[in-house]
């Protein structure tokens, strides 16, 4: 009896099941959709997940967006006001401290304090002061100086532990970083004869970043030796723009006097913020 009824009503059953499945899917989709409201003004609505993509519009504070997809910190969203779809930097759209987004706000910047943990790095002439200490302090000052810009900052380490060389490029690759900066302090067998700061890059896509930052460091109290190329693993094993800064010779006592000062580390940070703002202003399309 049941079998006969099923056979005679098979088409109706299929249609009913199809409708119920579709409705259930739509209800689940609506419930699971994430809605955000932009906080800053000037949030860029882009054609793809990155600041290198075309800017389609500028979003005002209070714009409602439905999140459709997520990719390395960028969210594909649908505007509630006109149903258009585009991408926004999630940390910019969600920021509660940034009032107006700028070019640097959309940037993902990796800060890499060299050495750490059992790897002390270079030592002062009396073996008392370790490179790892001052790379971390400098990177933290840079992070603090960059915070008001709204940029997304990723540290390869923020405590005294070692990060294997081959793992240093991973955060930048994973998050499609717009810039990676490695911090180091030089050492030389020449002792007090070697002095000054240097900037290094390896890939061509990092040359402009290195040169822009180098020009901002000409006001440092130590001589700027300039930009050069070097096959350091931290900047070689990455496809993202990456540079390495040598911020003085730690085994030169004259350089060390500056290296140890918080004022010197903060001056590096201030100069880097100026340089990075200039760099991103020059190569970011904004509506």
- Whether 242 maps to a domain, the answer reads yes
Are residue 163 and residue 196 in the same domain, yes or no? yes
Are residue 203 and residue 258 in the same domain, yes or no? yes
- Whether 9 maps to a domain, the answer reads yes
Are residue 76 and residue 214 in the same domain, yes or no? no
- Quote the number of domains for the chain: 3
Are residue 111 and residue 228 in the same domain, yes or no? yes
- Whether 287 maps to a domain, the answer reads no
Are residue 151 and residue 205 in the same domain, yes or no? yes
**Could you give the CA distance from residue 256 to residue 125 in angstroms, rounded to a whole number?**
9
Residue that terminates a domain, selected from 101, 119, 146: 101
pLDDT of residue 25: 39
pLDDT of residue 206: 98
| Residues of the chain predicted below pLDDT 50 | 5-6, 13, 16-32
Are residue 112 and residue 72 in the same domain, yes or no? no
pLDDT of residue 190: 77
pLDDT of residue 167: 97
Are residue 218 and residue 259 in the same domain, yes or no? yes
pLDDT of residue 15: 52
Are residue 153 and residue 82 in the same domain, yes or no? no
Are residue 95 and residue 217 in the same domain, yes or no? no
Are residue 13 and residue 139 in the same domain, yes or no? no
Residue that terminates a domain, selected from 101, 123, 148: 101
pLDDT of residue 56: 97
pLDDT of residue 160: 98
pLDDT of residue 14: 52
The CATH number of whichever domain residue 216 belongs to comes to 3.40.630.40
Residue that terminates a domain, selected from 101, 124, 157: 101
pLDDT of residue 5: 46
pLDDT of residue 273: 98
- Whether 50 maps to a domain, the answer reads yes
Are residue 90 and residue 214 in the same domain, yes or no? no
The CATH number of whichever domain residue 61 belongs to comes to 2.30.30.40
Are residue 267 and residue 168 in the same domain, yes or no? yes
- Whether 142 maps to a domain, the answer reads yes
pLDDT of residue 219: 97
**Could you give the CA distance from residue 61 to residue 41 in angstroms, rounded to a whole number?**
5
Domain enclosing residue 10, as ranges: 2-29
Look at the alpha carbons of 88, 91, 96, 98 in this order and tell me if their dihedral is positive or negative: negative
């Amino acid at each position: 009896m049941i079998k006969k009824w099923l056979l005679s009503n098979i088409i109706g059953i299929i249609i009913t099941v199809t409708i119920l499945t579709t409705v259930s899917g739509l209800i689940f989709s609506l419930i699971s959709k994430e809605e955000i409201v932009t906080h800053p003004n000037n949030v860029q609505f882009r054609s793809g997940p990155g600041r290198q993509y075309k800017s389609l519009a500028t979003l005002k504070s209070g714009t409602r967006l439905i999140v459709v997809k997520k990719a390395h910190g960028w969210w594909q969203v649908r505007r509630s006001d006109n149903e258009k779809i585009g991408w926004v930097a999630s940390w910019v759209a969600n920021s509660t401290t940034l009032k107006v987004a700028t070019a640097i706000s959309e940037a993902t910047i990796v800060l890499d304090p060299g050495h750490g943990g059992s790897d002390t790095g270079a030592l002062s002439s009396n073996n008392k002061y370790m490179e790892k200490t001052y790379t971390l302090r400098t990177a933290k000052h840079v992070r603090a100086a960059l915070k008001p810009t709204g940029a997304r900052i990723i540290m390869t380490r923020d405590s005294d532990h070692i990060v294997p060389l081959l793992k240093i490029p991973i955060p930048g690759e994973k998050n499609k970083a717009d810039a990676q900066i490695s911090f180091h302090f030089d050492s030389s067998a020449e002792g007090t004869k070697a002095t000054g700061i240097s900037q290094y890059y390896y890939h061509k896509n990092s040359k402009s970043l290195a040169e822009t930052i180098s020009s901002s460091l000409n006001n440092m109290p130590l001589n700027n030796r300039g930009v050069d190329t070097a096959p350091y693993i931290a900047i070689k094993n990455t496809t993202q723009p990456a540079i390495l800064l040598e911020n003085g010779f730690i085994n030169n006592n004259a350089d060390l006097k500056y290296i140890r000062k918080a004022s010197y580390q903060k001056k590096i940070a201030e100069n880097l913020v100026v340089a990075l703002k200039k760099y991103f202003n020059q190569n970011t399309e904004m509506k």
